[in-house]
Amino acid sequence: MQKNMIISDPGIMMGKPVIAGSRITVELVVEKLAAGETVEQILESHPGLTHEGIRAALSFAAKVLRGDVVYPTESAA
């Protein structure tokens, strides 16, 4: 995997992490996968995106979630 595949620049998508060379956010990739879209569907919707870019986005998201931060969730009622 390319080392700097995910970048964050205040001038691109308000500084959200994006796949380098695009305006495709890590958030968008994760949301689409969570909604049930396949990797192939995402690649079809975003022709500049690659399998490597999707893997980099998921890897980045996993690394971020490993941090020592508490994320409140809604409790089941």
Q: Give tens-digit pLDDT for 3-19.
A: 789 999 999 999 999 99
Whether 72 is in a domain gets the answer: no
Whether 71 is in a domain gets the answer: no
Domain count, the chain: 1
SS3 45: helix
Whether 76 is in a domain gets the answer: no
Q: What does DSSP assign to residue 74?
A: P
Q: Please, where are the H alpha helices in the chain?
A: 26-34, 39-45, 51-65
Which range of residues forms the domain containing residue 48? 6-22+29-65
pLDDT in tens, 15-54: 999 999 999 999 999 999 999 999 999 999 999 999 999 9
